[in-house]
Amino acid sequence: MRLIYASIYTLLFIVSLPFLAVRCLVNPVFFRHLKARFAGPGRILPKLDGRPRVWIWALSLGEVLSAREMARRLSEGGADVVVTSTTLAGFAMARQLFPDLTVLPSPLDFRLSVRRFLDCVDPDFLILVETDVWPGVLMELKRRGVDAAFAGARLSPSSFKNYRRVRFFWSKVLALFGSIAVQTEEDLSMFLELGADPAKIRATGNLKFDEEPMRHAPDERRRILEETGWPDGRWLIGGSVHPGEDFMLLELFRLLSVDRPELRLLVAPRDRHRFGAFRRHAREAFPGETACRSRPSPEDGSARVFVLDTLGELRRFYLLGECALIGKSWPGRHEGGGHNPLEPALLGVPSVSGPRIHNFKWMYRALCAEGGAVIADRRSLPGVMRDLLDSPGKLSGMGIKAKRFAMSHRGAVARTLDFIRPPGWRPSGDGEAPDAAAPSVAPEEPGATASGAVPDRPGAAMSGAATETADRPAPDPVPERRATMPGAVPENDVAMPDAACGDESAGSAEAAPANAAAGSVAGSGRVSGEADGAVGGAEAPEEASWGSRDSGPGTRRRRPSWSSWAGRGVPWWPGAASSTAGASSRPGRPRCPSSR
* 355 phi/psi in degrees, rounded to 5: -80, -10
Q: Examine the pLDDT at 459 and tell me if it is beyond 60.
A: no
- How far, in Å, CA of 270 to CA of 272, rounded? 6
Is residue 129 domain-resident?
no
Q: Examine the pLDDT at 167 and tell me if it is beyond 70.
A: yes
Confidence at residue 491, expressed as pLDDT on a 0 to 100 scale: 32
Please write the tens of the pLDDT for every residue from 197-229. 999 999 999 999 998 777 657 788 999 999 999
Mean pLDDT, residues 410-426 taken together: 92
Write out the residue range of the structural domain in which residue 23 sits.
1-31
Is residue 201 domain-resident?
no
Residues paired with 83 in a beta bridge: 56, 103
- How far, in Å, CA of 63 to CA of 402, rounded? 22
- Cα torsion 74, 75, 79, 85: sign: positive
Is residue 435 domain-resident?
no
399 and 551 Cβ atoms separated by less than 8 Å: no
Please write the tens of the pLDDT for every residue from 580-592. 334 433 444 444 4
Please write the tens of the pLDDT for every residue from 88-115. 989 999 999 999 999 999 999 999 999 9
CATH of the domain at 269: 3.40.50.2000
C-alpha distances out from residue 529 to 91, 338, 380, 533, 552, Å: 43, 20, 8, 5, 21
- How far, in Å, CA of 357 to CA of 338, rounded? 4
Is residue 572 domain-resident?
no
Please write the tens of the pLDDT for every residue from 145-156. 999 999 999 988
- How far, in Å, CA of 430 to CA of 78, rounded? 20
State the amino acid at position 451 in one-letter form. S
Selection from 240, 482, 272 nearest residue 338 by Cα? 240
Confidence at residue 101, expressed as pLDDT on a 0 to 100 scale: 94
Q: Examine the pLDDT at 575 and tell me if it is beyond 60.
A: no
Is residue 81 domain-resident?
no
What is the number of domains present in the chain? Answer: 2
- How far, in Å, CA of 124 to CA of 67, rounded? 18
Split at pLDDT 50, 70, 90, the class of 183 is very high
C-alpha distances out from residue 480 to 167, 332, 349, 350, 490, Å: 51, 35, 11, 14, 17
Selection from 100, 26, 21 nearest residue 68 by Cα? 100
Is residue 445 domain-resident?
no
- How far, in Å, CA of 108 to CA of 33, rounded? 11
51 and 79 Cβ atoms separated by less than 8 Å: yes
Split at pLDDT 50, 70, 90, the class of 180 is very high
Is residue 472 domain-resident?
no
- Cα torsion 107, 112, 117, 118: sign: positive
Please write the tens of the pLDDT for every residue from 321-378. 999 999 999 987 767 788 989 999 999 999 999 999 988 888 899 999 999 999 999 9
Confidence at residue 337, expressed as pLDDT on a 0 to 100 scale: 86
- Count of alpha carbons within 13 angstroms of residue 512, beta-carbon side: 15
Read off the pTM: 0.69
Is residue 116 domain-resident?
no
Instruction: Please state, rounded to an integer, the average pLDDT across all residues of the chain.
Output: 76
